[in-house]
Amino acid sequence: MLPENEMINEHDGEYPSLPEPRTVRLRFEKTGSLQFISHLDLQRSAARILTRAGIPLWYTKGFNPHPKLVFAMPLPIGCESVCELADVRIDRDMDCGRILDGLHRGSSGGLRFTECYIPERPFRDIAWARYGIRIAPGELMSPAGFAEKAAAVMSEKPLTVIKHGKSGDRLTDISGMMKDIKISCEGEETLIDLFMSATEGSTLSPAHLLGALTSRLGVPGPDTGYSAMRVCMTDAEGIIFR
Amino acid sequence: MMKMTDPALLRSVSKPGRYAGGEFGQTVKDPASVDASFAFCFPDSYEIGMSNLGVRILYGVLNREENIRCERVFAPWTDMEDRMREKGILLCAHESGEPVKDFDFLGFTLQYEMCYTNVLNVLELSGIPLRASERDDSWPIVIGGGPCSYNPEPVADFFDLFNIGEGEEMLPEIVRLYIRMKKEGATKAEFLHEAAKTIEGVYVPSLYDVSYNPDGTVAAYEPVFDDIPRRVRKRIVADLDTMYFPESVVVPYIECVQDRIMLEVFRGCIRGCRFCQAGMIYRPVREKSPETLMKQAKTLYQNTGYEEISLSSLSISDYTRLRELTDGLIGWTEDKRVSLSLPSLRIDSFSKELMDRVASVRSSSITFAPEAGTQRLRDVINKNVTEEDLMRSAGIAFGSGKEQIKLYFMNGLPTETEADLDGIADLANRVVDEFYRTPGHGKRAPLVTVSVSCFVPKPFTPFQWEAQDTVGRLIEKNRYLAGKITNRKVRYTHHDACVSHVEAVLALGDRRLSRALELARRRGFRFDAWDEFFSYDRWMEVFADSGIDTAFYANRARGEDEVLPWEIIDCGVTREFLLREKHRAYSGKTTPSCREQCSGCGAVCLGGKDICCPKMK
C-alpha cells in the first residue's frame, strides 16, 4: 500500500522532461498462450502494460489524448513471434535500460520484452518476415511424404488462395510472396522455414500458406498439431530489421 | 487426453483468448505446495465473468492464503463446448489447465437466476454428478454464493453448501476448516456438519428437511441436527476499511464488459426502493473512507495500468464524502489521463458540478431511472424522486450539450394502472420538451430512449409477496405503451416478458424446481441469460414435463403468514419490516432514507463499523 500523499508515479520526479517527445523501439516476444491474443487486443492492452511499467508516456494533444504506440507488423492470431517491434513515444528522459526493467515487471507469461533502443529505421523498410512452421501430419501421411507434397504445392505458379480483407474475399496469387523455402523433417514433424512478404499491402500470413496446404492436401486438418513462429524481419536486401 | 488449452483446439474456436490464460496478475501456484484447491466459477462467458468485482475480490482473498490455491473457471462458449463434447474434453481451470473435477472445491457465484442452466452445464462438462446426493467424498465440494443464494432453494439439490452473505472472511474460514478436518481424516458429511455448526453464514441444504402443505406452499424447514442454526444468518464484513481489497487484479487481454478499476465505495443502500433486492440484502450501509479509497485507487492504477476508475456502489451520490473523494481522485487522475465514472447517479442528487467532473457523463448520452411514470406509483415503490428532480437533471444534461437521455422504467409494478403507463409516455414527452426549453441546448434533435423492464418480485423485498403479471398481461402492457409513444424523438425498448416470467419462477421457487432445472440441462439448455439461446416455449415444455406450475411460483400473491422458501435464510432485514413496507406501499406512503430516519429494518443486528444506521450511533 502506498503511503498517503505519495506521488502516483514513483518515477515522475526522477526523470527530467524532454523538450521534444522521444521515440523508443521495443522488441518483444509473444509466445505460448499469448499467441491466441489478437493484435487488436494487444494494442488495447499495450497502454496498460506501459503504464504498469511506469514508462513516462507522451500523450497526443486534443480532445481525446492517447499514447502514441505503433506496431511494426500485426501478428496473426495463432502465430508466435520472437521478433515483434513497437515504437512508443515518451516525454521524460528515462533510459532504455530502465524502460526494459519496468516492462519486465509489467508484463507476464508469453509476453516478454527483450530490447529497448532508439530506432534508426522506419517500419516501412520491412520487406520480409521469416517464419518457422512445424506441422505434425499425424496418421494422414508421414512427415517426409507431407514434406514432398508441400514442396510441390509451394512451387505451384500461380498458387492462389482466398484472402479475407475489409473489402471482402479475393483470390490472390501468393507464389511470388514466398522465398528461401526450406522443408525438412524432424521426428513426427515437417518443418517449413521460409520468408514471406511483409510489405504494406502485400503481406502474407502463415495462415494463407496453411490454408493452401489444407485445401490441396487435407493437412493441416482441424485436429492437426502445428505451430508457426515469426523468427525475424528483414529489409528488401535481406538485412535483419531492428 | 486433449486439454482445453490445446493449440489445435484453440485454433478451432471463436475468441480463443477466452481460454488462453496468461493474463497479467493471475496467481499460479504449485499444486504440491498447497493444502486445498478451489476452482472459482463465474457461470457465464469469460468476458462477463472477468467483469465481476466479487470474483476479483474472492480470487485474491483465497490466493493470499499461502496454503490455498484458487483458480478461475468460466462457462465455455457454445462452439468450445461442442468441441469439448465431441472430443471428450473435460472443463479445466484457467490457470493450471487442471480438470475442475480434481479440485477440492468448486465455487459458483450466482449473480442472476438465468445462469442456473450454465451452473449445471459446468458441472456436467467437468464430469461431476449434478446432484449433491450423487457425489461421494471423491468429488469436489460444490459451493454457491452471490445474490441468488439468498434464495438458494431452486438450486439447493445441486450444492453441498452455500455461503450466505459477504465471503471475504467466510470463504477462507470454510476452506481452512476443510484443510484441518481433511488432515484429521474427516468425511465430507462431517465437514459439512461442522461448517454449518460453527461458521456463521454457512447453509448446508442437505441438513434441512423441507415439508410442504397440501396446497403446495412450504410448511416448515427442520434442521436434521440440533446443533445447527434453525435459520442461517447472513454474514457481513464489519469494517470495510480494514477488509481485504485486492491491490492487484487480473488484467484480461481480451475486451471485457467492465474493463476498468472498480473501486467499491460502500456496501448497502440507504434508500429502500421496495422492488430492489440489492437495497435490502446488502444492508447495513457501510462506507469506506476516502483515505482508504484513494490508496486503493492509486495502488490499483499502478498495478493494473487501467485508464478508467469506476466508483462502484448501489447509489454513488449517497456516499457521504463524495466531494472529498472525487476531489482527491481528480487531483491525480487528470494528470495521468485516468477517467472517473460514476455509474449509479440518482436524479435527485445529480448536479452540473458532478457532471462536469466525471468522464462517463461526457459522452453524448446519460441514463436516469425514474422507474415509474407517475408520482403515485413512484411513491408506492418508494423511489423518492419527483418529476421536478427528473426535469432539473434533464435540464442540466441538455444545457451541457447532451442530446440523448435514457430513462429506465418498470412495468407490472404492484398497483399499476393504465394511468401509470400513460405517465411513462407523458414523462418522456416532457423530457423532450425540456430539451427545447433549456437555454444552450445542442443543435441536433434530442432523443429520449424509454427502456422498460418487467417487474420481477424478488425475495427479501417488500414486494416478495406480490404476484407477477402474467406474460400475456406484460406483453399487453408493452404493446399498450408502444401505442402511447408516438413522439418521434422518443424511442421505446422493452425487456422480454417471457424471460422475466422464467426469472420470477427461478427467483421465487423452492427445492422442487431442481427437477425442472435438471431436465432443462438434459435438454441442452445453456446461456439462458443470452437472448439468442433463450427459448420460452422450450422452458414451458420443461416446466410442464417436470410437473411445475409456473403460475404457482410467479403469478400467485403469497399469503402474509405463508412460510416462504427463502426464509431458511435470515438476511438481517426482518419479515415485520418488509411487511410494514408492503402495507405502506399500498397506502402510497413513502419511507425516508436511512440517513433521514431509521425505519427499523432490523439489519442493525448484523453489526458493522461506520454504518449509517442511526440506531448504531
Q: Does pLDDT of A70 surpass 60? A: yes
Contact present, A131 and A231 (Cβ < 8 Å): yes
Q: Which residue intervals of B199-306 are DSSP H helices?
A: 278-281, 290-304
pLDDT confidence of B363, banded at 50, 70, 90? low
Q: pLDDT grade, residue B500 (50/70/90)?
A: very high
| Average confidence (pLDDT) over A19-30 | 96
Question: Minimal Cα–Cα distance from A238 to chain B, Å?
Answer: 31
Size of interface A-B (CB pairs under 8 A): 99
d(CA B366, CA B466): 32
- With bands split at pLDDT 50, 70 and 90, how would you rate the model's confidence at A49? very high
The pLDDT assigned to A29 comes to 97
Q: State what percent of residues in chain B have pLDDT above 90.
A: 84
Question: Is the pLDDT reported for residue B616 higher than 80?
Answer: no
Q: Helices A39-52 and B290-304 sit at what angle, rounded to 10 degrees?
A: 120
Q: Grid coordinates representing B612?
A: 449509517
Work out the minimum CA distance from B247 to partner chain A, whole angstroms. 8
- pLDDT tens digits for range B460-472: 999 999 999 999 9
Query: For position B606, what pLDDT does the model report?
Result: 87
Statement: residue B371 has pLDDT above 80: yes
Q: Phi/psi at B41 (nearest 5 deg)?
A: -110, 130
Q: Containing H/E element for B506?
A: helix B497-508
If one compares A35 and A64, the residue with the highest pLDDT of the two is A35
Helix (H) or strand (E) holding A227: strand A225-234
| Interface probe, candidates A43, A45, A89, A92, chain B, greatest B C-beta count within 10 A | A45
Q: How far lies B71's CA from each of B33, B38, B90, in Å?
A: 15, 6, 16
Mean pLDDT, residues B555-583: 97
Work out the average pLDDT over B109-129. 98
Which residue bears the cell 518457422?
Answer: A132
Q: What is the pLDDT at residue B73?
A: 98
- Nearest residue of chain B to residue A9 (CA atoms): B302
Helix (H, G, I), strand (E, B) or coil at B351: coil
H/E stretch holding A128 reads strand A128-136
Distance separating alpha carbons of residues B614 and B610, to the nearest angstrom: 10
From CA B38, how far away is CA B59, in angstroms rounded?
A: 9
The owner of cell 535481406 is A238
Burial grade of A8 (CB within 10 A; 0-12, 13-18, 19 or more)? middle
Model confidence at B263: pLDDT above 90: yes
- What pLDDT score was predicted for residue A4? 37
For cell 482466398, name the residue: A162
**How many whole angstroms separate alpha carbon B515 and alpha carbon B519?**
6
pLDDT given at position B337: 86
pLDDT of B307 over the 80 cut: yes
Distance CA B337, CA B353 (A): 19
Q: Are B321 and A63 in contact, with CB atoms under 8 Å apart?
A: no
Whether A1 and B251 lie within 8 Å, measured CB to CB = no
Angstrom distances, CA of residue B503 to CA of B264, B368, B454, B507, B571:
27, 24, 10, 6, 21
ipTM surpassing 0.95, yes or no?
Answer: no
Q: Check: CB of residue B314 under 8 Å from CB of residue B281.
A: no
Instruction: Compute the mean pLDDT over every residue in chain A, rounded to the nearest whole number.
Output: 90
* Higher per-residue pLDDT: B610 or B456: B456
B8 contacts in chain A (CB < 8 Å): 222-226
Mutate to test the interface with A, among B337, B339, B363, B364 (most CBs of A within 10 A): B337
B16, B295, B299 ranked by CB distance to A36: nearest = B16
Task: Answer whether residue B519 shows pLDDT above 60.
Answer: yes
Q: Which of B492, B513, B489 is nearest to B566 (CA)?
A: B513
Q: Which residues pair with B405 in a beta bridge?
A: B366, B448
Using CA coordinates, name the residue in chain B closest to A10.
Answer: B302
Residue of B nearest to A67 (CA): B337
Backbone angles phi, psi at B407, to 5 degrees: -120, 125
Q: pLDDT class for A1, splitting at 50, 70, 90?
A: very low
Determine, for residues B17 and A41 on separate chains, whether the beta-carbon distance falls below 8 Å. Answer: yes
> What DSSP string describes B48-114?
HHTT-HHHHHHHHHHHTSTTEEEEEEEPPPHHHHHHHHHHTPPPB-TTT--BGGGSSEEEEE---GG
Q: Does domain A17-120 have CATH number 3.90.1150.10?
A: no
Q: What is the mean pLDDT of chain B?
A: 94
Q: Best interface-test mutation with A: which of B77, B92, B245, B253 has the largest number of A CBs within 10 A?
A: B253
Set of chain A residues whose Cβ sits within 8 Å of the Cβ of B336: 8-9
Residue A196 is predicted with a pLDDT of 97
pLDDT in tens, B206-221: 999 999 999 999 999 9
Test B295 with A2 for CB contact under 8 angstroms: yes
The arithmetic mean of pLDDT across residues B72-83, rounded, is 97
Residues from B in contact with A at Cβ < 8 Å: 5, 7-8, 10-12, 16-17, 19-26, 247, 251, 253-255, 291, 294-295, 298-299, 301-307, 332, 335-337
Determine whether the interchain pair B298/A2 forms a contact, defined as Cβ–Cβ distance below 8 Å. yes
Cell, residue B213: 402443505
CA dihedral B301, B287, B384, B380 (to 10 degrees): 110
What's the start-to-end Cα distance of chain B, in Å? 61
Quote the Cα angle for B354-B359-B361, to 5°.
Answer: 65
CA B520 to chain A, closest CA, distance in angstroms equals 31
CATH 3.30.70 fits A124-234, yes or no: yes
Of B309, B318, B202, B232, residue with least CA distance to B268:
B318
So what's the pLDDT on residue A7? Answer: 41
Band the pLDDT of A8: cuts 50, 70, 90: very low
Peptide bond into B99 cis (omega under 30): no
pLDDT at B617 over 70: no
Per residue in A77-136, pLDDT (tens digit) is: 999 999 999 999 999 999 999 999 999 988 988 899 999 999 999 999 999 999 999 999
Taking residues B67-77, report their average pLDDT: 98
Which cell is B441 given? Answer: 441546448
Domain boundaries, chain A: 17-120, 124-234
Is A124-234 the same fold as A17-120?
yes
In order, the DSSP letters of B456-471 are ---TTSTTTTPPPPPH
In this structure, what C-alpha cell is assigned to residue B57?
475480490
Q: What distance in Å separates the CA atoms of residue B3 and residue B9, rounded to the nearest whole number? A: 8
The pLDDT of residue B612 is above 70: no
Q: How far does CA A153 lie from the centroid of its chain?
A: 26
pLDDT of residue B378: 97
Give how far B338 is from chain A: nearest CA, Å: 11
Which of chain A's residues have a Cβ under 8 Å away from the Cβ of B17? 36-38, 41
C-alpha cell at B141: 465440494
Q: Measuring CA to CA, which residue among A210, A240, A214 is closest to residue A228?
A: A210
Residue B109 CA to its chain's centroid (Å): 9
- Chain A residues whose C-beta sits inside 8 Å of any chain B C-beta: 1-2, 4, 6-9, 32-38, 41-42, 44-45, 47-52, 54, 59, 65-66, 77-78, 106-111, 222-227
**Rounded distance, CA B312 to CA B328, Å?**
16
Residue A216 pLDDT exceeds 60: yes
Rounded to whole angstroms, how far apart are CA atoms B607 and B238? Answer: 7
| Residue B187 C-alpha from the chain's centroid | 33
Task: Enumerate residues 6+ apart whose C-beta is below 8 A from A177.
Answer: A196, A197, A202, A204
Using CB atoms within 10 A of its CB, is residue A18 exposed (0-12), middle (13-18) or buried (19+)? middle
pLDDT at position A62, please?
75
Is the pLDDT at B182 greater than 60, yes or no? yes
CA angle A60, A62, A63 (to 5 degrees): 120
Average pLDDT for residues B106-117, to the nearest whole number? Answer: 98
Identify which has the larger pLDDT, B472 or A65: B472
pLDDT in tens, B7-43: 989 999 999 999 998 999 999 999 999 999 999 999 9
B389-398 pLDDT per residue, tens: 999 999 998 9
- The whole-angstrom separation of Cα B287 and Cα B264 is 9
Question: Which residues does chain B have within 8 Å of residue A48's beta carbon, measured at their own beta carbons?
Answer: 251, 304-307
Provide the 8-state DSSP code for B510: -
- List the single residue in B22, B23, B254 with the smallest CB-CB distance to A32: B22
Q: Nearest Cα to B300, choosing from B336, B263, B268?
A: B263
**Chain A nearest CA to B15, separation (Å):** 8
Per DSSP, which regions of B372-461 are E strands? 404-411, 447-454
CA of residue A111 relative to chain centroid, distance: 11
What does the block give as the cell for B234? Answer: 447472513
pLDDT at B362: 52
DSSP H or E stretch at residue A29: strand A17-30
